[in-house]
C-alpha cells in the first residue's frame, strides 16, 4: 500500500481514494500511479497513525515540502489530515506543508471549515479548473453538480486568512484561451495567484 511517494523535491501523501469529483483530466484515469510511483489505489484507507509512521519512515527532512495530494481528495479525511499536520508541525517545524485540493471541504462537511486550516498549511492549492459553474461541471462532473463551483470558490476566499499562500490551478489543455483569460480575471478579483499546469497523461 503506497502512502507516500516522491514528486520532484516533494514528499506526497496518499490518504484516500475518495473524491467528490470525476474530473476528465484526473490522473487516476490513466494508470495506477503518478510520476513513477507504485499503485496509489489503496486496499484500505491507512489510519492516521499509519500515515504518520509512513511520513517518518520516508525521512521527510530530505524534501522541500510535504504535499497532501494522492489518488483522491485529501479533505475527505479532514480530521485525520489535520492531525497528521499537527504531528509534522510538532516534530519537523521547519518543514513546509502544502495541500492540493478540489476545494470542496466545506461542501463535504456542510459548514465552513476554513478556520480549521489555521497553522496547518503553508500553501493550499485549489483546483479552479474553469471560470463558471457550468464549465466546471462539464469538466469535473461533481457530485454537487452546479453548486460545486461556488462551494470551491467560497472556500478559497474563506481559507485565505488562515493560510499564507492560497493559489488556484487550471489544466491548460482543458480550457480555451477565452476561458483561461476569464480564470485569470476571476483570480484577480480575489487576489489569488493562478497556476497553469499541463495535462498529465
Ligand atoms: S478532484 Fe482531483 S482526485 Fe478528484 S477526480 Fe478531480 S483530479 Fe481526480
pLDDT at 32: 76
Domains of the chain, by residue range, sit at: 4-197
pLDDT confidence of 140, banded at 50, 70, 90? very high
Q: What is the pLDDT of residues 178-196, one digit of tens each?
A: 999 999 999 999 999 999 9
Q: What is the pLDDT of residues 10-26, one digit of tens each?
A: 999 999 999 999 999 89
- Work out the average pLDDT over 123-151: 97
Higher pLDDT, 85 or 37: 85
Q: How far is the CA of 91 from the centre of ligand 1 (A)?
A: 30
Q: How many CB atoms lie within 10 A of CB 27?
A: 17
Question: Which residue's alpha carbon is nearest to atom 3 within ligand 1?
Answer: 72
Let me know: does 30 contact 74? Beta carbons within 8 Å: no
Q: How many CB atoms lie within 10 A of CB 33?
A: 17
**pLDDT at 201 exceeding the cut of 70:** no
The CATH H-level (homologous superfamily) assignment of domain 4-197 is Aldolase class I (3.20.20.70)
Q: Output the pTM of the full model.
A: 0.94
Q: What's the CA gap between 155 and 63, in Å, rounded? A: 28
Let me know: does 12 contact 74? Beta carbons within 8 Å: no
Q: How far is the CA of 167 from the centre of ligand 1 (A)?
A: 17
Task: Quote the mean pLDDT of the chain.
Answer: 94
The DSSP bridge partners found for residue 197 are 171
Q: How far is the CA of 23 from the centre of ligand 1 (A)?
A: 5
Q: Is 143 in the pocket of ligand 1 (CB under 6 A)?
A: no
Strand duo 123-127 + 4-7: pairing: unpaired
Amino acid at each position: 500500500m503506497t502512502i507516500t511517494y516522491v514528486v520532484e523535491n516533494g514528499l506526497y501523501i496518499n490518504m484516500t481514494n475518495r473524491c467528490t469529483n470525476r474530473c476528465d483530466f484526473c490522473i487516476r484515469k490513466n494508470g495506477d500511479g503518478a510520476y513513477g510511483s507504485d499503485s496509489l489505489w489503496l486496499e484500505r484507507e491507512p489510519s492516521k497513525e499509519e500515515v504518520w509512521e509512513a511520513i517518518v519512515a520516508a525521512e521527510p527532512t530530505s524534501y522541500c515540502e510535504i504535499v497532501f495530494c494522492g489518488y483522491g481528495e485529501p479533505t475527505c479525511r479532514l480530521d485525520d489530515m489535520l492531525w497528521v499536520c499537527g504531528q509534522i508541525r510538532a516534530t519537523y517545524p521547519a518543514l513546509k506543508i502544502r495541500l492540493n485540493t478540489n476545494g470542496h471541504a466545506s461542501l463535504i462537511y456542510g459548514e465552513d471549515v476554513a478556520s480549521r486550516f489555521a497553522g496547518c498549511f503553508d500553501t493550499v492549492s485549489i483546483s479552479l479548473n474553469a471560470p463558471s459553474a457550468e464549465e466546471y461541471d462539464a469538466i469535473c462532473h461533481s457530485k454537487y453538480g452546479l453548486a460545486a463551483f461556488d462551494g470551491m470558490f467560497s472556500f478559497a476566499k474563506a481559507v485565505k486568512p488562515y493560510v499564507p499562500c492560497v493559489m488556484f490551478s487550471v489544466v491548460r489543455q482543458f480550457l480555451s484561451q477565452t476561458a483561461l483569460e476569464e480564470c485569470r480575471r476571476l483570480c484577480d478579483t480575489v487576489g489569488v495567484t493562478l497556476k497553469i499546469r499541463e495535462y498529465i497523461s
